[in-house]
Amino acid sequence: MSRLYIILVLLAFVAAVCGQGMLTIQQPLTNEQWTSNSRQRIEYTIVGNQTLTTPLTLQYPSSFDIVFQWTARSDPTKTYQLDALSGLSAVPYPGGTQNKVYSATWKLPGCRFFSRYTTQDYTFNIVFVPKYPSTTKATVQKQSAVTVALDIQVNNATFPRC
């Protein structure tokens, strides 16, 4: 019985360590409500490797891009996207001794966009996409993209002049 317990604890530990990333998103929160045609704050943290009990084995990307993505509810294979922000810093704190917080703002499309891609017919996300130099070896562990679902509220008060 004790061997099984040790194996389960070890597996839980490995899953926790492998699940960690170097990027945490403070804003937006999952399913945070954003209003069309408004400026939105985006805040993220690059985790310092030395702040963790078990250091990350991932390589830091050179930057992040943020993609605004929408998917048809009726057909999840129909996904569209536009580049929201590019070249966001992924530079960790020197020596990785602490976390480093970054922020940016982005203006959400207006009501004309959401008249074409309605919230009833589409789901909306922002995706943090890590960018690595083309010289990065294929064997290096990389940070995967992070997707944050959004709840879009459309302000149609002034349509069609929005």
- pLDDT tens, residue by residue, 105-129: 999 999 889 989 999 999 999 999 9
Q: What pLDDT band is residue 3 in, cutting at 50, 70 and 90?
A: low
Residue 19: CA count within 13 A, CB half-sphere: 6
| CATH architecture of the domain with range 22-153 | Sandwich (2.60)
Contact criterion met (CB below 8 Å) for 67 and 112:
no
CA torsion, points 108, 110, 111, 115, in degrees to nearest 10?
Answer: -80
Mean pLDDT of 18-46: 89
The one-letter amino acid code at 53 reads T
Does pLDDT of 1 surpass 60?
no
What pLDDT is attached to residue 7? 43
What confidence tens digit (pLDDT) does each residue in 58-105 have?
788 999 999 999 999 999 999 999 999 999 999 888 777 789 999 999
Q: CB-based contacts of 114: which residues, under 8 Å, 6+ apart?
A: 36, 152, 154
Domain ranges for the chain, please list them. Answer: 22-153
What pLDDT is attached to residue 29? 96
Q: State yes or no: cis peptide before 160, omega within 30 of 0.
A: yes
